[in-house]
Amino acid sequence: MIPTLAGRIQTRLFLFLFIGIPITLLYGLYWTGWQWDWRTIQIFVWFLCTITGLGLLLDPVYIFLQTTRWDRDWPFAYQFFFSWVEFGIVFFVARAGLIPYLPEFAFQGGQGLWIATLHFTLVFVPSFLFLLGPLQALFIRWRFKGGQFGKM
């Protein structure tokens, strides 16, 4: 991957909107027994929003790291690794109760870890796979624009 800053932000938001949010809603519905219970579902939604928000804050840092690399690229392995770092940071901050808009009972105990990890896995795997190439089938200019959408 050879993303630019705008490309990182656009691709992140695209995957968040079109893969992250739908899967999160389904996952939330699963935990509420397929009943629309916003009080529970919102935990998952806000959790994903927080990860995305953190990612947006970190994107300039990643771009800085890229400029220190001769190829100014970003290996898929790094993308993989840092996605989980982002998840880990948000999870532990949430677990410590430092995210005010998330209820205190969320992410506690062994089950909290398991539920959050499964959630992130379900969002991350398809997003990452989508990034590996299928995105190009829809947007042929995306790979030349460092991850931005639209015309050249």
Partner 1 sequence: MITFPVRFRVRQIGIDGNTVGSSRILLCEEPGAFLIGKSQEADVPLTGDAVSRRHLSLVLSAEDVRVQDEGSTNGTYVNGTRVDEQVLAVGDQISIPGWILELLAAAESPASATRIAGVEVDASLVSRLVITDDDAPPPTRRTFPDAEFEGKETVSIEALRASGHPIEEVRFCAVGGGLGSFVWVDHLRCYGVPASDIKAIGTEEVCYQTYKRYCKNSQIPDHERLRSNALSRPDNIWGFPGYAMREVGKGIGVKGIFQVFGEPTLSESYTPRAGDVFDSLDIEAKRIGWPEMFLKAQVLGLRKTSDGRYAVAYKLWGGEASGQARNRFIIADAVHLSTGYPATRFVDDFQTFITNHPDARAQVANAYEPHDQMYVEAERRGGPVQFVVRGRGIVASRIIQRLSEARAKNPEIRILHSMRSAIGPRDGAVFRKARRLVRNNVEIQPFNWPKSCWGGDLRVEYENANDEDRGIMLSQLGGTTTAERSDWIAIAERGAEEGWYRPIYGNISDLAPLPPQGEKQPAGVQVSIDTQEGNREELNADYLVDCTGLIADIRRSPFLADLLDTYHLPRNHAYRLKDGKASQGGPTGLRCTNDFEIEGLRNGNGRVYAAGTITTGGPYLAVDSFLGLQYSALRSVDHLVTERIHKVRNLGPLRSLGGWAKWMTGARP
Q: Which is nearer to partner 1, 60 or 109 (CB)?
A: 60
The answer to whether 13 and 148 are in contact (CB under 8 A) is: no
- Candidates 80, 77, 26; CA nearest to 48 is 26
Decide if residue 80 touches partner 1 (CB under 8 A).
yes
76 forms part of the interface with partner 1 (CB under 8 A): yes
- Stretch touching partner 1 by CB under 8 A, among 39-47, 65-73, 91-99, 109-117: 65-73
Residue identified by tokens 């579902």 is 41
Tell whether residue 2 is a contact of partner 1 (CB under 8 A): yes
- Strands (E) across 7-145 are located at none
Note the Cα 146 to chain centre separation in Å.
18
Site string for partner 1, 24-63 (x = CB under 8 A): ---------------------------------------x
- C-beta separation of 43 from 102 below 8 A: yes
Q: How far is the CB of 84 from partner 1 (least distance, A)?
A: 14
| Residue among 75, 88, 103, 109 that touches partner 1 (CB under 8 A) | 75
**How far apart are the C-alpha atoms of 43 and 37, rounded to whole Å?**
11
Note whether 137 binds partner 1 by CB under 8 A.
yes
Residues 105-134 that bind partner 1 (CB under 8 A): 132-134
Residue type at 93 in one-letter notation: V
